[in-house]
Structure 1
Amino acid sequence: MAAVRIARRDAWRAKGRSALVLAMIALPIVGVSAVDLTWRSSELSTEQSLSRQIGAADAKLSGTSFASAIYQNPTGDRYEPVGGYRGYDSSKAKPEDVPVPSVLPPGAQIVQDSKGSAKVRTTHGLLDTELREVDTAGPLVKGLFTLKRGRLPSAAGEVMATDTFLKESGFFVGSELTPRGAARSYRVVGAYELPSALKTTQIIAPPRTLLAPLDRALTGAGGQGLSVDDDFLVKVGGDGFTWNMVRGANAKGFLAISRAVNLHPPADSEVPLYAQQREEGRADDYSASSLKAVELTVVATVVGLAMLEVCLLAGPAFAVGARRSARQLGLVGANGGARRHIRAIVLSGGLVIGAASAVVGTALGVVLTLGLRPVLEEYLGLRWGGFEVRPLELLAVALVAVLTGLLAAVVPAVTASRQTVLASLTGRRGVRRANRILPLIGIVAVAAGAALALYGAVSEMGTAVVAGGSALAELGVVALTPTLVGLFGRAGRWLPLSPRLALRDAVRNRGRTAPAVAAVLAAVAGTVAVATYQHSTELQARHEYVASLPAGAGMLTNAEDDRYKDVPAAREALAKEFSLAVRADVDRVVVGKPSCDSYSTEPGCGRLEIITPRENRCPLYESKNGLSDFSSEQVRALRRDWRCQERQFMQPRDTVVADEKLLTVLGVNDPAAVAALRSGQAVSFDRRNAKAGQVTLRVITDDAQGPVMRGPGDEPKGVDKVFPVYQAPDAVTGYGIEVVLPPGAVKAAGLGTAPFGTYFTLADKPTSTQRQALAARIDRIGVDAPVKIEEGYQGRDSIEVLALTIFAGLVTIGAAGIATGLAQADAEADLKTLAAVGAPPRVRRTLSGFQCGVVALMGVALGTAAGLLPAAGLRLTERRALAGLMGHSGSDQAVYVPFAVPWETLGGLLVLVPLGAAVLAALVTKSSGALSRRATG
């Protein structure tokens, strides 16, 4: 076609402008194609996923937390007890040690895969590590891990470790490592990785060479043994582990992940779990669908705004190109070309640039994804199943680039076709009257878009409706831009000469100014939407954050009650390494031997429990049938009752023994509480525990199983110890500590104590060197005494948010520079006119700078208003999803999903972007402009 040939030749002649537009369109195509390739490549097939879960076995059997029969879904990722959670009674369930062979057919192969967790001594200190025992040479484990270096462990005393463990521990193949408490060391003979969990710190040893010896060593030293979970890889042959076999394993309390069932799942009617959920009126995937809806809304909004932004950024470039080619287009008209031919030429320019952008962007996306594959796999923590390219999806991405180029050229094409032949040949643009219909269309679009976005956010339509409404509203603002530019012009009467000229020039040439303003508007709208959404989620996270202590306070606590004799040494190490303002040593009450803790099951150990008076207990939990004894209105009313308030704070102990220094660390400024503790009274921070000035602590010695969940009305048996107590006001919090006992009162009650830790406030914030030195000293002492310092809310994903903010800011400034630079190029004739009449260079520089600054300022102001709508829509969508989730779970807790405007960011945009654009334009404006000859007709 002639139009395409003309457009191609024009694009080749104006290489700089063409490259600029190509880059603007191709950049998002690179990102979208790379995301598509990464997503598809990291998406494992069912067979690949099963190979990484169960190796070459037919199935994997695992025990569950329910000591009864269970129902499961075919994939094995959800299960629940038969009869549902409401009908499950842990006190009536009788755990049975069911051997695995009893649920398998004769001749089945079995490989045990055992896992536990312990601290391993490293070159830096102690590292929490997953310990695993499995026969690595067995045929059934093929696919579970990938050996990277060295060899498989084959004898006692040999292990292999993940690359992540070696990196964090400072070890290497050939090193000796020792789990804490172990009687021997182990040599690392190989390095491996878990394909679907690259960031796991794990070591593998041959069966019965690591977990059992370590458990014996720990229990023999008087400590707690390891908690070990056993999985069983099984091979049954034939048709594999069928659905009937899965149900048979479920009947004996085993969860089964079967290869045959995952590859060929049964009908929903054959799955008892689904039937049970339907009978109870539950939708188990409610939360997943709600969260997926929010994710789709975010993705749709971001993609829609990005495409709109590219169109608006490329539009001014095509408009400038059309005006630069006005003489050529005029010659087409002078030789008999119709308006449709001129439109076809300009639109062909968009087609040519769009097609080139599609090819370049898609090719770069493929190359970048291939080159960055190792980095992406490490970042995702997942080895891809392969490099999967789906041509149809990449073709769709490429078509988006072509469509974007065409859309960006529509308005310039229409404008160019309306230009008269004489005006095109002489370079005169004439004066066009303002369009009176376009502002009305813009107002309707803004109102309809805002209503649509808000309706989508509060209704079930959600997802793309919010994105569509936000895009429609932004297009409405774009349609209003010429009118709004005229309104801005009324402020010129109060400005000095140069900015007044710049503003009047912008208003007089709205056809040039409006596209540039719209381009900056689109870029700023995206930045404001991202910044507002992030600021709102940050405010929500800050609100939900629960501090364990007052800001700047800290605690050192003993995690191993049997090592209580080492706690004083750890306290002294803390005092030597850190600069402490207040130090409050804290003890714990022990029942039996000092080494007994709250969960000890050995003979001679008991525990201490706070007994809440019956009248202070929440009726919801004391009723025989629980919540079913109350109406929904009664449940909501009782959840607001002070007796039913949930505890927000968590501490290692709810009852501690300390003096008044602890109150200082906890920030308790109640003189009466300090006086009560000094006088020998206990201090309570939860009024449910106190009655008539007394608190009751029950010494329980005959409950060998430790704390268990009791039914309504059940009382543990023991001896009560009553202490006089001062009840602190409700506004005073103990940060999870419910009762503070004075040492004298505990001794008078005949109770024993043992050192537990230290609470402290800091005189100076410790450095990283001090923290590492303290960790080394405590490690040498041999006690597991973690140190926690409350530093307040630190923000979530701070690095990612910072990177996103910087990227959005650069895009905004770049868009402003591109749009205003194109406007400046279009206004080159005005600068030459100034030079012709003798204006000094300073005037030309100042005028050029203010021209770009005015365009950027108008774009930033309008973009700020346009960007708030999609952020509000996303937050309302999340609020609706969270409210539905809370309602589905039966919770009466208020939903807090705020919408907050980041005024600091908006203020920075309003100042920095126009200022930067103005300074840049002034700097690049030539100090002396050569006069150009007038174009001849």
Structure 2
Amino acid sequence: MIWKVAVRIARREALRHKGRSALVAAMLALPVAGAAAADTLYHTVKLTTAEQLQRDLGQADALVGFVAPAPVQQLPDGSVPAPPQAAAMLGGALQGVQVASPVEAGVLPPGTRVVPMPGKQQLRVKSPHGSYTVQVAERDLGDPLLSGLYERIAGRAPHAKDEVTLSTSMLDALDKHVGDQISAEYLNGAEQTDRYGHLPDHGLTIVGEYDDPSHLDADEILAFPGTLPEPPDYPGPTHWLARIPGGLSWAQVLQLNRSGYSAESRQVAENPPPDSQVPLLRDHRGAAAGSSRLTEALVAVGAVGVVMALLEVVLLAGPAFAVGARKRRRDFGLMSAAGADQRMVRAVVLADGAVLGAVGGVAGALLGVLLGRLALPEAVTLTHREPGAFRIAPGELALAAVLGVATGLVAALVPAIITGRQHVLQALTGGRRGARGVPWKLAALGTVVLLAGAGATGYAVYRPGIHTVPLVAGIAVSELGVVALTPLLVALAGKLGRALPLTGRMALRDSARNRGRTAPAVAAILAAVAGSTAVATLLATDDARGRAQYHSTLRPGQAALMFGWAAVNESAAGSRPGLQFSGPDGAPNATAVDAPKAIAAISATLPVRSAALIQSQDYTGFVPVSVVVKRKPGNDCPFFGPNGGGVPAGPDGESMIQSDPRCVAAFSGGQVVPGDAATLRALTGKTDPAAEKVLAEGGMVVFNRYDLATDDPATGRATATVAVQRMCPSDGQDMPEELRKQFGPYCSGPPPADTTLPAAVAAARDGRAVSNVRALIPQAVADKYGVKYVPTMILFDTTRMPTRAEEERANAAAEALGTTALLKVERGYQGGSDTTMLALAAVAAFVTLGAAAIATGLAITDGEADLETLAAVGARPRVRRALAGSQATITAVLGTVLGSATGLVPAVAIIEARSHSFLQSAADARGGGPFGIGRAVHAQSYLAIPWWFLIGTIVVVPVLAGAGAALVTRSKVEIRRRRG
């Protein structure tokens, strides 16, 4: 009965004061609208299994790919993890060997129809501003099996040779339309250049505009099968779309794997097998655990963000309910005089929260769906992917609306308790009685809550694994504990008034006496600043980790013209964590370049001091041997080698091994290549007489002291050992005879003997490989082992950092060389989050100023009698402005200081939890248990405090709050006759 009456009163009060009710409802609706919009976008952008299969398989039952002439292991999605150079080695191994389609090989059931899906090749297209090097693939878009792989925008599918379709972005870049022609050069090595180094031009007719729904920003050309000439020793396509009678089961996929084929199956995707039936996951449990922990860490971070956002809304809405309750205290006094008890008064205030929360929840959910629909084009622009069908989740939207009601009730809880305790006579007469004494009981409770939250957070952070519930609960409880301590801190701050001028002293003491209205405002500012501080700290930490882990192969200001596999590896560096093995048909050619011509062309556009040609091992040919530096056992990295577990899982994997200097060279990679003094000077950018002397005398140069083998006791000079690493098949391994013959020259007989040479250590940062070179050896040693080296890079040492315009001209010069080349200018770490930090600062300032404005308005309204008294005794009009500005400044200072300190807690907790979770993943991957690698390596969190952000928030925002409150406050005080 009480709640029925309370809800009726709250509904009528909301309709009576529509402006204030709309403001509070809008405040409560904002988080609901954000959650509903995000939920709607998530369900729309996330493709269903059927939608994803249509983009991957079209109308086929499976996408089958040839991986290797040996058994392989795959994931249920069809991907086969492989090292970066595996495709190149396989491409060389299959030279002269035709890859059989799965139908010809007899690995698919009778009646299967397959459509070849050749790999992408490179094509240079003439453009109005020069030329573009883009990807081209041969596809029969008229085949029904390909329906759904590409989206037709305009035109038709190619029906004949030399007919192509272009993606929308490609048409825009070339300023072409359907029906136009383009001039192109094929870069697959099938055609020879003329005496000027130019390839033949081919005229291609644009007959359609087709986009890849999963990569709308891709510059892509699709040609009719037979348009592109086959390069030498082309093994044929290695991927096929297949229509299989009865589909392809997981058991059949495993049978394909035994023959060296992989498959993405529609039937398997719709009915995925358990992990216990996936050999790859069963044999590599550590990697699966690492991936699982990474997911758990992301869930924990998201949960912390949601909880902090809800807390912020509750604490921001609290002062609004306090204002409403303060405005209606006479009404509550009349209710108490008529016989209503404290429980009834509290119920009315709580009903305000429930009614406005329900309005805000429903309105927010509906608004969120509308915002999600309106934001869908922007989501497509950001993700460059076509979304699925527009979908909403009614259950989740209802949960979001209920969340709005709960937020309103929690926000109204403290004002309800305070209002229920007010005296009847004080409420009816408008009199006020300031708080007396110090709120030790609430402070003691707050201290206990804060300690409990800190304990839960510490448990979640430092225990092995990810513990989302204690982490989220600990952070939320800690912030609530600080909020409970706020009245005590406000009361203690009132004792500092003696050091302030008159208006500051009055404002500080008034805030302390009326902490019932000051504490909620301070808590609101605290919540806003805490949230922005936490995000700013996470961004600063990510930036610091990126800066610390950024290790370029080039020095700042240095430029490199890369061709062949060097260019491919450089351009794919950003996508390697998700690398999938696609087979040899997409392998690029390593077209030779005219080094003197290239050096002259680039030197004419960049401020070049010197240049040198760098060689690398030829991975386009079949050479199953590599020249490596052989270390002493004590110098080996414990993560690598026969007993190592590889790089730890997770994005912090590199930081985990940085504490051991033995791991630096092993982790950074690098090749052992032939070179001379000029090569050394180009790599290091300096002259090293000692190292150059060793090279001239037939020795070698390394860049890490752990690569030294020993000091020669006869001469007292350092030495290093070079060895050959052979990758030969086992005797019983099943493979084609043509392929086995290619191993013969390299794998027959005992391995070549190791070579120990005099050595010198050249200066290099952290002992890392310099420009992907780990050591320089004499050419005679490289020839001894029969390893083929080819030019892959020209290094340019510059006198200063090239400008962007110079870099663009150098890129144009590189394209004009008539070969596939990539020019890179090293500009150092280009990360940073200055724009995001400024946006955060703006949001924090806006919310803080709003909370300060609410607190100041409440204080001015509540202290009207004091201002009238001041005017009556002769106070100047500007005292009112000064007092309002002082009250806003004091409230903002207390809130920003506490918020900055409070916001560091969740940030540090998330950073440490993330680091410890990846450390635990590394331990599991190596099989060492939770403490197996504690002495060998530690996770680095790279905690970075955004000091300028904190100083700006604590200093600038309160000044702005005080100045704004002083400017918008009227100077003149109207003295009214008092009631009672």
Shorter-chain TM-score tier: 0.7 to 0.9
User: Does 1:436 find its partner at 2:472?
Assistant: no
Aligned to 2:307: 304
**CA 615–51 in structure 1, closer or farther in 2 if over 3 Å, else same:** closer
* Equivalent in the alignment of 1:866: 902
1:243-258 to 2 correspondences below 5 Å = 243-258=250-265
Equivalence for 1:635: none
Select 2:70's aligned residue among 68, 71, 75. 68
User: Deviations for 1:507-555, whole angstroms, at most 9, x for unmatched residues?
Assistant: 1211111111111111111111111122222222222111323333333
For residue 334 of structure 1, report the CA deviation from its aligned partner.
Answer: 2.2
What is the identity, as a one-letter code, of the residue corresponding to 2:373? L
Do the aligned partners of 2:80 and 2:262 also contact (CA within 8 Å) in 1? no
What are the residue-to-residue correspondences of 1:301-700 with 2, within 5 Å?
A: 301-433=304-436, 434-459=438-463, 460=465, 462-559=467-564, 566-580=594-608, 583-588=609-614, 598-599=618-619, 601=621, 609=627, 612=630, 618=636, 646-649=665-668, 654-659=673-678, 663=681, 666=684, 668=686, 672-673=690-691, 683-687=701-705, 688=707, 692=712
Give the alignment of 1:760-909 within 5 angstroms: 760-795=796-831, 803-804=839-840, 806-890=842-926, 893-909=937-953
| CA deviation profile, 1:419-462 (whole Å, cap 9, x unmatched) | 12111111112133343321111000000011111212223461
Structure 2 residue 206 is matched with structure 1 residue 204: no
Determine if contact 2:290/2:922 at 8 Å carries over to the other structure.
no
Residue 56 of structure 1, CA deviation? 1.0
Gaps of 5+ in 2: 84-91, 192-199, 566-588, 646-656, 729-738, 927-932
The answer as to whether partners of 1:607 and 1:706 remain within 8 angstroms in 2 is no
Which residue type is aligned with residue 860 of structure 1? T
1:710 & 1:885 partners in 2: Cα distance? 38
Instruction: Tell me by how many angstroms 1:702 deviates.
Output: 15
Check whether the contact 2:286–2:925 (CA below 8 A) recurs between aligned residues: no
Alpha-carbon contact 1:177-1:188 (below 8 Å) kept: no
CA contact (8 A) 1:61 1:256 kept: yes
Amino acid aligned to 2:348:
I
1:261 aligns with 2:268: yes
SS at match of 2:595: helix
CA RMSD in angstroms, aligned pairs only: 4.2
Query: In the alignment, residue 961 of structure 2 is paired with which amino acid?
Result: A
Q: Quick check: 1:100 aligned with 2:74?
A: no
2:239 corresponds to which of 231, 236, 239: 231
SS, match of residue 100 in structure 1: coil
Contact kept? 1:655, 1:737, Cα under 8 Å: no
1:22-37 paired onto structure 2 within 5 Å = 22-37=25-40
Identify unmatched segments of 5+ residues in structure 1. Answer: 82-89, 220-224, 591-596, 629-637
Partners of 1:72 and 1:80 within 8 A in 2: no
Contact kept in structure 2, 1:559 and 1:786, CA below 8 Å: no
> Residue 856 of structure 1: CA displacement?
0.4
Contact 2:44–2:388 (Cα < 8 Å) also in 1: yes
- 1:918 alignment partner, SS class: helix
> CA 1:803–1:126 in structure 2 vs 1: closer, same or farther (change >3 Å)?
farther
Post-superposition shift, 1:643? 6.8
**How many aligned residue pairs are there?**
886
Structure 1 Cα separation of the partners of residues 256 and 779 of structure 2:
54
RCO comparison, higher one (Cα < 8 Å, 6+): 2
2:116 corresponding residue in structure 1: 112
Corresponding residue to 2:54 among 24, 48, 51: 51
| Letter paired with 1:350 | G
Contact 1:521 / 1:860 at 8 angstroms: preserved in 2? Answer: yes
2:298 to 282, 295, 300: 295
Moved more, 834-843 or 43-52: 834-843
Question: What amino acid is aligned across from residue 218 of structure 2 in structure 1?
Answer: T
The alpha-carbon distance between structure 1 residues 643 and 314, as it changes in their structure 2 partners (threshold 3 A), is: closer
Q: Secondary structure at the match of 2:285?
A: coil
- Report what 2:650 is aligned to: none
Cα distance change of structure 1 residues 540 and 29 upon mapping to structure 2, 3 Å threshold = same
2:922 counterpart of 1:916: no
Contact preservation (8 Å) 1:41, 1:388: yes
Match of 2:731 in 1: none
Match of 1:194 among 194, 212, 231: 212
Determine which of 173, 178, 184 is the counterpart of 1:178: 184
Q: Distance in 1 between matches of 2:411 and 2:640?
A: 68
Measure how far apart 1:496 and its partner are. Answer: 2.3
TM-score (norm 1): 0.85
Look up the SS of the partner of 2:474 in the other structure.
Answer: helix
Q: Secondary structure at the match of 1:130?
A: strand
Distance 1:110 1:606 in 2: 33
Deviation by residue 1:864-884 (Cα, 9 ceiling, x = unmatched): 121111112111220121112
Match of 1:634 in 2: none
Deviation at 1:171, TM superposition (A): 4.2
Query: Partners in 1 of 2:851 and 2:857 — Cα distance?
Result: 10
Give 1:616 deviation, angstroms: 9.3
d(CA) in 2 for partners of 1:884, 1:96: 46
The amino acid of 1:106's aligned partner reads P
SS in 2 for 1:646: helix
Which residue number in structure 1 is paired with residue 155 of structure 2? Answer: 150
Q: Which digits, 9 at most, give the CA deviation of each residue in 1:597-655, with x for residues without a partner? A: 623539xx9999466488898598999x7669xxxxxxxxx999977653454668744
TM-score (ref. length: structure 2)? 0.81
Say which SS state the counterpart of residue 303 (structure 1) adopts. Answer: helix
Of 741, 745, 761, 1:727 maps to: 761
Report the alpha carbon displacement of residue 172 of structure 1 after superposing the two structures with TM: 3.9
1:131-167: CA deviations, max 9, x gaps?
2222211111111111011211111111112223334
- Distance in 2 between residues matched to 1:428 and 1:708, nearest whole Å: 102
Q: Distance in 1 between matches of 2:203 and 2:9?
A: 78
Q: Secondary structure at the match of 1:114?
A: coil
Q: 1:157 to 1:44 in 2, by over 3 A?
A: same
